[in-house]
Amino acid sequence: MQGLFEEAEPGCFKWCENLEETELVITDESPIKLDVVGKRPCISTVRGQVAWGKTSLDEMQTRSMTNDARKHTDLLSGTMTINCCSREPLESEYIAWTVANHTWLLRRLVMKFTPVHEFGRGQVVGAPSPAGAIVSGDTEGEWICTPIQIPFFLQISGQVTPLNQTLLGKIEAKFNVRGGAQIGPTGVRGQSTKKTSGGSPGPLDEDVIIRPPTIRGRPIRNIAFEQSISVKKES
């Protein structure tokens, strides 16, 4: 918001870091102090309620077999309330609508440079009402506040590693290969390729060389794996 109103023309709620020169005060203080704001309009940001989403079972992402380290992740949903305060009701509403519209249009910039997901959609602009406790020292009720509620989602992750605990120290695996492609005589009865006097091939008791089956020109190997795994477990 500071970058948005910093580009405004003088006389159109232009913001600057110098509190004596700025036309609009933007702060995260709550309540707003009148001795700082004076008679100028102001914007105050307040974080609302945040809830864990319980998006998966135990929210577990990974778990290590060596040291039992667990990594959990979840999606948080919350709201950000932006209070646009002014002594004039129409001025308060104008600032609120300007903030809400540009938050919706420029939400991709917020999601690009922060870990916030789905920001600036489904926001609600409330009705203008007396500021009450939002402005400290407003005894006469001159200040009007128009709130904006902006929902957001935030992904968090954390890891827990038990101390002095090793569940798995070493895994040894051995693989032996035996067998090969059958490329020799098969010992089956075949027919001779020589023709008899009648013109038909005659029977012949001899071994026939059969080519092994292939996949893309490579013979299929008849392979048997012998596997042995030894696990060393420590507590």
81-139 per-position pLDDT tens digit:
999 988 888 999 999 999 999 989 988 888 888 888 888 888 999 988 887 777 876 66
Please tell me the predicted confidence (pLDDT) of residue 191: 47
Please tell me the predicted confidence (pLDDT) of residue 117: 82
Q: Where are the domains of the chain?
A: 2-48+77-157, 168-233
Res 205 pLDDT > 70: no
Determine which of 4-8, 191-195, 209-213 has the lowest per-residue pLDDT on average: 191-195
Q: How many CA atoms lie within 13 A of 101 on its CB side?
A: 6
Please tell me the predicted confidence (pLDDT) of residue 177: 53
CB contact at 8 A, 24 and 40: yes
Task: Give the residue-averaged pLDDT of 146-165.
Answer: 88
CB contact at 8 A, 81 and 147: yes
Tell me what percent of the residues of the chain surpass a pLDDT of 90: 14
Task: Give the residue-averaged pLDDT of 199-213.
Answer: 56
Task: Give the residue-averaged pLDDT of 140-152.
Answer: 86
Q: How many CA atoms lie within 13 A of 23 on its CB side?
A: 12
Res 175 pLDDT > 70: no
Task: Give the residue-averaged pLDDT of 136-156.
Answer: 84
User: Residues for the chain: how many in total?
Assistant: 235
Res 222 pLDDT > 60: no
Please tell me the predicted confidence (pLDDT) of residue 186: 46
Q: Which of 29-33, 126-130, 193-197 has the highest mean pLDDT?
A: 126-130
Res 15 pLDDT > 80: yes
CA dist 82 → 4, 35, 44, 145, 157 (Å): 15, 21, 6, 10, 27
Res 148 pLDDT > 90: yes
Please tell me the predicted confidence (pLDDT) of residue 58: 85
Please tell me the predicted confidence (pLDDT) of residue 150: 92
Task: Give the residue-averaged pLDDT of 13-42.
Answer: 81
**Which residues lie across from 185 on neighbouring strands?**
209
Task: Give the residue-averaged pLDDT of 196-203.
Answer: 54
Average confidence score pLDDT of the chain: 76
CA dist 233 → 67, 69, 162 (Å): 11, 16, 16
Q: Model-level pTM? A: 0.60
Q: What is the residue whose two structure tokens read 């009648």?
A: 198
